Structures are given as C-alpha cells and as structure tokens.
C-alpha cells in the first residue's frame, strides 16, 4: 500500500490501546486524524487526550465522509458497526493498525517482542534501558508505560521496538498482528495457548510463529526463553541465530540466580554464561516471571551492543507498565494491587508473586473471567491458579468481543470448579457487590489483588478510595 496520497485517516475503534498509539503516531507524522469509539476508557483515552485527538463517542456513517484511509480495530466488523458497513459501501481503502504500523516503520530495524505473556513488560524494559543510556528508541507497546506516560514514541533512531500481539489483526485480515512486522530481531518470551476463539490448538499457535520467523531477513536473530518447552519445540530445527535465556540449567547464554525479595523490590544475579560476566540486578517490578522478562531485555540489549553496566543502576527506577502487579496504594494497613492477568498462567504468577512478597498476609484474589471461549477452554487450569490465595472472588464473565455470542459457561461454574481446590470462593456478580463484600470483610494487613481486563479494571481505585474514606 502507498501512503503518499493519503492525508485523512479515520480510526474505527480508536480507543483500543494499540489503535490509540498508532493514531497518535499518524498525527505526529502530519496526517489528519479522526476516530470513533463507543467503549472508551483509560489508558487509551489518556494517550488520545495527551495528543489532542478528538474522537466521536458514537458510530455514525457521516464520520466516514472524505476519508482517504480507514483503520478498523480488531473488535469491529460489519455485523456490529455501521461505520464499517459505510466504509464497505463507499469502497474506501482499509487497513488494520498492525499493517499501518509496519508502513510507518518499514525502513527501520524492527525489534519485535512476542509471546503469550510478558510482552509489555519486556518491551518496556528494553525501551527504558535504551532511553537511560541516551538512545531514544521509537516504540509501540501494548500497555501504558508509567515511566514514559505513554504507549508509543517516534524517534530518529534506526531501531524501532514493537510489541507483537498474536491475536488477529481485523475482521478482514485474520493474520496475527506480529506477522505484519517482519522483525530483524525477534524476542519470544513464552508460548501458551490463549485466544481460544482464534487458535485451534497449540500447534496452530506454533505454526503462526514459524511463519513470523520465516518472514525475518536471512540475518535475523531470535532471543528466546529456554525454560519454555513450547519455545524449544518451535525453535528445535531453526537455522536462525538464537540467544537463549532462562533460570533452569546451563544451556542458555543469560541466566538468573539468587532471587531475593525485600519490601517493595527484589534482586537477582544475572550471569552471562559465555563471558562469565556477573551483575546484581535490583528491580521494583516483582515476581519470577519478571526476572525472566528482565533477562529477555538483558539478552536483547547485549546483542545490540549495550553494556549491562551502562544501565543496570537505572533498572531500579523502572516503574513498569500500568496494571502489571501495580500497587495502587495502602490504606488502613490494607494493600490494593491492580493487575491485567486474564489467563490462568498469569493469574497464578500474580498470586504466587503476592505470596512471595507478602508471606504472612491474607491475600484476596478478585478475578474477572475474560471471554467465554477462554474461560471455558481453561477452566480446569484456572481452578488450580488460586492455590496461593486465601480468599477468592469471581464476578460475572466479561464477554468483550464475544458479547453477541452464547457463552456455554457461567461464572458460577468457575466458582464451583475452584471450590474443588479452594473453599473460600465467592460469586459476586457486580462491582458494587464485590466492593461491598470487601469493605465488610477486609482487616489490617490484608492484600487485595484485582485481576481484570474489562469493566472491573477501575475497581482497584474505587476500593482504595472507599477504604481511605470509610
């Protein structure tokens, strides 16, 4: 596609985290931007507001008039959006944001961070470390990075960092977003079956990653987690240069040892098994999964020629991404943590981290199941994810893009399954009921973790406010 004749770009579903970033990039590149979204909330709205991007709160066909190009978000299609129907009627050219992002960065050395879990934190760490050494890398990240107060950046650097999502691009382009990016350097954090409405099975996911690797240039390099058996399976016969990292064994180049938690921070020793270099790393982001994310960043930066000693002191200043084990505050000796976890693996990692950091405190886990397909497919695994929690609350399932589909699963079924392994489980459908129950039951020294993607992603702030003022 040629952008030379494009002046006006309209974004349908502009308040998605990825759409907002690409819209802001387009504006900085001097395109005339408009957009629409009926389901807008932070952090995407923070990005739009910061870039003075006005958008319509309703979908109307007149918004399409005079547009040269229309970007359609993954959750929008002709069945549920009249703007999409109008675009089709007028024959206006359409792209996904992933395709447009590639067009904006096609002349760059693209570093793509992919994998089921840890993409946002790993990409943010790489950008933060480079920034701390004076190298202002451009980036696109699928989360709001507190350190940058945004989710994107443009720069004059030849390098551009992209978080590569594995979900499909749009209703008219069913390729995973990362297949658009053609990475020169690919980071693979892990492979875990997710997006059950898109991937048939784990082999289907692995096949998509093989296509991504095939699209790399001949001298492309892969940074990958050796601890993950699915990643090892993917790369077993790969002819690419692979830089391994991990916690287990000695087959990798970068390894972490001696993980120690201390208050609101943790430390570990990073070892380069090839050069024998050893450095103590201090981080404010917590959990073994974040040790792996940090190792992925270290390995990537090492390949780029960035000395660990040039940025390691700044790693302790890294605040992380919004809603990744984010401590919202403490009131009346009760700690409230907000997290984006919506897959059983991430849920367990989040709760296990809380148990490691707060070994003698009572832990409440509030988890909003996300989509019927994921909840149904992962039910058994999900039931085992709460073993480190003392109390569990499950509200109704957030359907997201599946709101027009029949679920085949209920939140009560989730509760019943969890109760096979954990007795203190409550089904409280609404925000109001959850907050009311917590205010009645919480006591000093308790820790509350809110894990949600949908309507419950504002509950942590609401709960903390009510505790403070109660």
- Is 119 marked as binding a ligand? yes
- Is 343 marked as binding a ligand? no
- Is 115 marked as binding a ligand? yes
- Is 275 marked as binding a ligand? no
Q: How far apart are CA 251 and CA 439, in angstroms?
A: 49
The β-bridge partners of 145 are 150, 321
- Is 121 marked as binding a ligand? yes
Q: How far apart are CA 165 and CA 440, in angstroms?
A: 40
- Is 117 marked as binding a ligand? yes
- Is 353 marked as binding a ligand? no
Q: How far apart are CA 120 and CA 339, in angstroms?
A: 13
Annotated binding site: 115-121
Numbered residues of the known binding site for ATP = 115-121
């Amino acid at each position: 596609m040629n952008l030379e004749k494009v002046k006006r770009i309209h974004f349908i579903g502009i308040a998605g985290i990825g759409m907002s970033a690409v819209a802001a990039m387009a504006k900085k590149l001097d395109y005339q931007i408009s957009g629409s979204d009926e389901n807008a909330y932070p952090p995407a709205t923070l990005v739009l507001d910061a870039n003075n991007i006005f958008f319509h709160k309703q979908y109307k066909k007149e918004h399409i008039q005079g547009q040269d190009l229309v970007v359609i978000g993954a959750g929008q299609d002709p069945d549920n959006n009249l703007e999409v129907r109008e675009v089709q009627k007028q024959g206006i050219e359409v792209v996904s944001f992933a395709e447009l992002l590639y067009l904006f960065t096609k002349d760059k050395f693209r570093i793509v961070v992919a994998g089921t879990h840890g993409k946002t934190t790993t990409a943010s760490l790489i950008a933060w470390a480079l920034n701390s050494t004076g190298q202002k890398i451009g980036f696109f990240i699928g989360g709001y990075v507190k350190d940058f107060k945004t989710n994107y950046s443009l720069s004059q650097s030849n390098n551009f960092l992209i978080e590569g999502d594995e979900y499909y691009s749009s209703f008219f382009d069913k390729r995973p977003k990362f297949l658009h990016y053609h990475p020169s350097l690919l980071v693979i954090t892990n492979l875990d079956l997710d997006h059950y409405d898109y991937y048939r099975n784990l082999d289907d996911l692995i096949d998509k990653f093989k296509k991504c690797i095939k699209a790399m240039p001949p001298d492309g390099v892969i940074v990958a987690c050796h601890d993950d058996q699915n990643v090892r399976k993917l790369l077993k016969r790969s002819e690419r240069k692979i830089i391994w990292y991990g916690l287990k064994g000695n087959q990798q180049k970068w390894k972490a040892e001696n993980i120690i938690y201390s208050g609101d921070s943790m430390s570990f020793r990073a070892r380069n098994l090839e050069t024998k270099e050893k450095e103590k790393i201090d981080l404010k982001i917590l959990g073994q999964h974040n040790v792996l994310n940090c190792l992925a960043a270290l390995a990537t930066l090492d390949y780029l020629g960035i000395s660990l000693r040039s940025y390691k002191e700044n790693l302790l200043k890294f605040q992380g991404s919004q809603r990744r084990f984010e401590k919202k505050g403490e009131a009346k000796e009760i700690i409230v943590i907000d997290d984006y976890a919506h897959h059983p693996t991430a849920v367990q990692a989040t709760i296990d981290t809380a148990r490691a950091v707060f070994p003698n405190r009572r832990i409440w886990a509030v988890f909003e199941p996300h989509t019927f397909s994921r909840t149904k497919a992962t039910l058994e695994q999900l039931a085992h994810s709460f073993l480190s929690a003392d109390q569990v609350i499950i509200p109704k399932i957030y359907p997201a893009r599946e709101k027009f589909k029949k679920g085949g699963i209920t939140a009560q079924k989730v509760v019943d399954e969890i109760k096979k392994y954990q007795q203190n489980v409550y089904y409280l459908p609404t925000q109001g009921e959850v907050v009311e129950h917590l205010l009645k039951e919480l006591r000093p020294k308790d820790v509350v973790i809110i894990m949600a993607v949908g309507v419950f992603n504002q509950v942590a702030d609401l709960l903390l406010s009510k505790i403070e003022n109660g």
